[in-house]
Amino acid sequence: MRKLRLPVLVFLLLLVSVGYAAQTLGIVAKPGDLVASAETPTPSAADRSPSTANAQVAVVQSTARSAYDISYEEVESMVREAIALAGGLESVVKDGDVVVLKPNLVGLSDLAGLSDSGNPIAEANGVTTDWRVTAAVAKLVRELNPSGTIYVMEGSALSSTQYMMNLMEYTPDTMPWVDEFIAIEKDSGRWHEYNSEALVKVQVPQARLNDEYYVNRRFFEADVVISISCLKTHDVGVVTGGIKNLGIGATPANIYGNSLAEIGRWNVIPHDENLHKWVADYYRCRPADFVVLDGLQGVQNGPNPRPIERNQMNMRLIIAGKDAVATDTVAALIMGWDPQSVQHLVYLSRSGCGIMDPSKIDVLGSRVDQVRKFFAGGGTKTGGRVIPDKGTQSFSIAKSEVSDGTLDLSLDTSSGIVKVEVLVDGKLLASARSDFSSIPVDLSGLGPGEHDVTVRAYDRYLYSTEKSIPVRLM
């Protein structure tokens, strides 16, 4: 990099003193320069990479019998509810921001089979992100960001991105809140133009695979990136979620494509055990600020199964969270796969990019074991493991005493329990993650009379068991 003169150094020090991170320098780096650090926090990184606070992940399920029965209005309602439960976008998106929405439009191997089924191609297919989910997020972002810019950016794999956007109804007619629909392979320079103004070369400290990666400049410089992916298994990556959606789908095909004529990246990006290292590294170049997962359908034997109808799972879910690692951890457990066997999640958790400890993840809305189905095809050749088909957690309530408006609970628990929640009249009032011998529950806000106390215990796969006791307040 060029040597910096003294006035420039003083200016940079002033930027740091008012809270800007060193990565700001990377954002204005010239093509060919290296960003100082992919780990250096940007102004929103406190939301992006929580290291101590509990992560919140929302799981919202429709009551419709079939994913194909869910209307646009209900999809929007589910998206809004999930985002609100997960903490909302108000602390993520500010007016005037440049916001990138990154869906998963990888392609459809069984387009003919989907067409023959009579079901809508662009809705609830499970392989690509339903346009209605992305539209609902775009609408919500525009409400918070009336004067800013919204991009939909994607890099497909089987067909050109523009073709997939048109086929999947990613158009100004369906998403009038979006300013531009960007095919990453067309927005990152010419074939192997490594010094293109449209690219930023990012250096990843303590990288797992490569020291540096090329990233689309508009994607990298965005104030906010929201990953809007699908709920599906992957034959190498174990699961597809918000992280892999960026770790592969945001790579520019003019740099990493198989050839000038083939935008798929599987010959350049390793699709063996090293895929997890690639995904973890590339994700760290520009992490997501928020994740929304389209689980309306969900597919097993992904990423692109044939025949598609036999692999659709009818989940009827929307999953959301600010912590991408926690969100993908919950998604893996919902699909019946052990997140500890998803190595890119393990790598990112160890790098401080998010939480994958289930005892530190608060799942809001539907519980994981209420909606779980076992998806096939989760990358066993790269270490993917299916979780047990039932939990082994058990406990008994050894003591429950009320004194001065506080309920003191003492539990005798089995070794498999990692978290306990205490709900009073259906509202979560307390939780414990290590010492279950004394759990204080503040009842001071409740009126006199009888109240129902439910104690719910979880194992690391988020199987749960519960017991209820009545408590009378005078």
The 10s digit of each residue's pLDDT in 312-324 is 999 999 999 999 9
Is pLDDT of 361 > 70? yes
Question: What is the model's pTM?
Answer: 0.89
pLDDT digits (tens, 9 = 90+) for 113-167: 777 778 889 999 999 999 999 999 999 999 999 999 999 999 999 999 999 999 9
Nearest partner of 36 among 18, 14, 19, 12, judged by Cα:
12
**pLDDT-derived band at 6, boundaries 50, 70, 90:** very low
Cα separation, 183 vs 163, whole angstroms: 10
pLDDT value at residue 474: 86
Is pLDDT of 34 > 60? no
Task: Convert 326-354 to b/e letters by CB count within 10 Å (16 or more is b).
Answer: bbbbbbbbbbbbbbbbbbbbbbbbebebb
Cα separation, 389 vs 326, whole angstroms: 22
**What type of residue is 75?**
V
Cα separation, 246 vs 222, whole angstroms: 14
